[in-house]
Amino acid sequence: MPLSSMAIGIDIGGTNLRAARISGTGEILDRISEKSAPDPELVLSRIGEMVRRLDSPEVAAIGIGVPGRVDARLGAVLSGGYVNLASVSLAQRLESLAGKPVVIDNDCNMALVAEMALGAARGHESIVMFTIGTGIGGAVVQDRRIVRGKGTAGQLGHITVDISGEACVCGRRGCVETTSSGTALGRQIARAGLGPDVSVDQLFARDAGGDPLARGVLEAWAGPLRAAIDTTVAMFDPDLVLLGGGLGLAAHRALARAPALAPWYQCPVEAARLGDDAGVIGAGLQALAAHAAAAQAAVAQASPVSLPTARAVPSRRAVLVNGIPASGKSTVSRGIAERMGWPLLALDTIKNPFLEVLGGGDREFNRTLGRASYQAIWSVVGEAPAGSIFVVDAWFGFQPRQILEDHLRSAGVEQTAEIWCHAPGEVLAERYRARLDQRPAGHPGAAYIPELIELANRAEPLRRGPLFDVDTTKPIAFDAITQWLQATIAADR
């Protein structure tokens, strides 16, 4: 098998975390499973350990299927259910831990990618998939491409089937997830008085024996799902509707109790074939596809577009002075700018005047202003002449890695070097505490210090390009830093 022809695929579920090393053809070469948890930090820790155990030199990338709303293009988790990773910079932190590119997407999207490659959707161009489990996931493919809309299309579990129905976690009522998920089936079994230990297989057995209670439960479970399927058929006119997830086979069987009645909205409905393996296979294949696309783009970018004798115009370059708050990066970045004569752009330099003029704000406002200031930095860089070198002072871990990559690309920055500033959490806490009265209103106060200490224990550099490590508890060796920068980023290329 050629070098870098493998990926690690991860499927995050409400009950289990699954990970596997996947070949380029979708074969599972090795697998691990761990228990899931509602604590996002615990989930991230377990995922990191599974990746460590599965990793090898042949692994080129990592793919993760995440429940809930995911903006795959930004690499951001927007919301979730039992496992809500919206508060965790999942892709960026796992990239820092593993040192390999990470692709994230909705878990149902990942499963459908696998079914198109190896399962029930092979040969089909337009597919709708529902995954039936603790909740209901969804994915839509047209012309063999995932439909994303603005970012998170395909949330089929939130098709309304009863406007007066039960409240849903999305904030509305009567979503099909509230009527036809595994959780909903459990509620219907309990309401029928059949007992909490009755399985779906026992329901089918009782129904076959003529039990009207079992038949009523199956009809109540399948009927709204049929309505949701008919709705997606009316919207997308697919070749195929797939039912996957842990209860996909059972849901497919139960639909016999709720046949399609509307002649306009007929479409074949099949059970997915890959079972619990679909998520990890699809995640691995998506990661390999993204890795291949990035490699092709790099080759195309490196291809000469002028005569061989023409001298290329140097691109913009950036020194990323990285570190969490109070890590000493401002001192380091100022020292570099003074010695090298390069312009310095610092997040706080842009943000703080707005906080002072506006009179501060809460922490969420501070974060919003930080994101805007971050964008302003790269807008300034993008307006500079080609060949410019900037020093950028920021904690680059406060947003998903893909946002940085998008900014660098739009600003025309093709080369970076990273200065990683760090100190023990207790040292950072003392520094932060000493500067509390110097910070404009809107910055987190003393209550942030325990969070800062915890962040210091897990923060990692970007490892994007050459890396210089600076322990800011020691005298800063600016001569060594400037010599390194001259060799790595300032040299005429």
147, exposed or middle or buried, with CB in 10 Å at 0-12, 13-18, 19+? middle
Using pLDDT thresholds of 50, 70 and 90, give the confidence band for residue 191.
very high
For the stretch 377-402, pLDDT in tens is 999 999 998 889 999 999 998 788 88
More confident residue, 19 or 313: 19
More confident residue, 306 or 193: 193
Q: Tell me which H or E stretch contains 137.
A: strand 136-142
pLDDT of residue 308: 41
Mean pLDDT over 133-138 rounds to 91
pLDDT of residue 106: 93
Mean pLDDT over 335-355 rounds to 89
pLDDT of residue 365: 75
Low-confidence winner among 139-148, 265-274, 374-383, 393-402 (lowest mean pLDDT): 393-402
Sign of CA dihedral 442, 444, 445, 447: positive
Task: Tell me: pLDDT of 311 over 60.
Answer: no
Using pLDDT thresholds of 50, 70 and 90, give the confidence band for residue 435.
confident
pLDDT of residue 310: 37
Mean pLDDT over 314-318 rounds to 82
Q: How far apart are CA 467 and CA 418, in angstroms?
A: 5
Q: How far is CA 463 from CA 44, 84, 99, 416, in A?
A: 19, 27, 7, 10
Using pLDDT thresholds of 50, 70 and 90, give the confidence band for residue 312.
very low
* Chain region(s) in the chain for CATH 3.30.420.40: 6-106+279-285, 120-272
Q: For 147-286, list the strands marked E by DSSP.
A: 240-244, 269-271
Give one DSSP letter per residue of 175-203, joined into a string. Answer: BTHHHHSHHHHHHHHHHTT--TT--HHHH
* Chain region(s) in the chain for CATH 3.40.50.300: 313-488
The total of other beta-carbon atoms located within 10 Å of residue 215's CB is: 16
CB 65 within 8 A of CB 107: yes
Low-confidence winner among 40-44, 191-195, 224-228, 353-357 (lowest mean pLDDT): 353-357
The contacts found for 289-293 with CB under 8 angstroms, 24 or more apart, are: 290/61, 290/63, 290/101, 290/103, 291/4, 291/7, 291/60, 291/61, 291/101
For the stretch 237-260, pLDDT in tens is 999 999 999 999 999 999 998 988
Question: Among 3.40.1180.10, 3.40.50.11740, 3.40.50.850, 3.30.420.40, what is the CATH number of 6-106+279-285?
Answer: 3.30.420.40
Task: Tell me: pLDDT of 361 over 70.
Answer: no
The total of other beta-carbon atoms located within 10 Å of residue 480's CB is: 11
Task: Tell me: pLDDT of 81 over 80.
Answer: no
Beta bridge partners of 71: 76
**Closest C-alpha among 245, 277, 273 to residue 28:** 277
pLDDT of residue 313: 41
The total of other beta-carbon atoms located within 10 Å of residue 469's CB is: 10
**Closest C-alpha among 317, 336, 319 to residue 384:** 317
pLDDT of residue 254: 96
Using pLDDT thresholds of 50, 70 and 90, give the confidence band for residue 161.
very high
CB 380 within 8 A of CB 345: yes
For the stretch 15-64, pLDDT in tens is 889 999 999 889 999 999 999 888 889 999 999 999 999 999 999 999 99
CATH topology of domain 313-488: Rossmann fold (3.40.50)
Using pLDDT thresholds of 50, 70 and 90, give the confidence band for residue 303.
low
The total of other beta-carbon atoms located within 10 Å of residue 414's CB is: 15
Using pLDDT thresholds of 50, 70 and 90, give the confidence band for residue 88.
confident
The total of other beta-carbon atoms located within 10 Å of residue 279's CB is: 34
More confident residue, 87 or 362: 87
pLDDT of residue 440: 67
Structurally, what CATH architecture does the domain formed by 120-272 represent?
A: 2-Layer Sandwich (3.30)
Task: Tell me: pLDDT of 493 over 60.
Answer: no
Which of 55-59, 126-130, 144-148 has the highest mean predicted lDDT (pLDDT)? 126-130
Q: In whole numbers, what is the pLDDT of the chain averaged over residues?
A: 88
Task: Tell me: pLDDT of 114 over 70.
Answer: yes
pTM greater than 0.75 (yes/no): no
